[in-house]
Amino acid sequence: MLRVDSSRLGFRKIKTELEDVFQDDVKIVGESTPTITGWLEVQVVGGPLLHSKKNGDGYVDSKQKMDRIVQGIEAELKK
């Protein structure tokens, strides 16, 4: 399962793109952060943090950033 903490708009974009790549191989859930704004993290549950706006990665706004997330998920699926 992949967890994305984010605003609804950011979550929907990331979720749609990852579902296009992985189909039914991953379950993507969103967790809102109502008391914290600007927090965007993508993490495999029980696995690595793949993207963190809070830690300096910014928004997932480029192919390079999305590719890094996809590669991280692929690596986890191979385990």
For residue 2, what pLDDT band results from cuts at 50, 70 and 90? low
Cα gap 60→43, rounded to integer Å: 13
On the 0-12 / 13-18 / 19+ scale of CB atoms within 10 A, 50 is buried
The domain spanning residue 35 has which CATH number? Answer: 3.40.30.10
pTM for this entry:
0.82
Look at residue 64 in the predicted model and tell me its pLDDT. 94
Query: Is the confidence at residue 11, as pLDDT, over 70?
Result: yes
- Are 50 and 72 contacting, i.e. CB atoms less than 8 angstroms apart? yes
**Which residue segment(s) compose the domain that 35 sits in?**
2-77
Number of structural domains found in the chain: 1
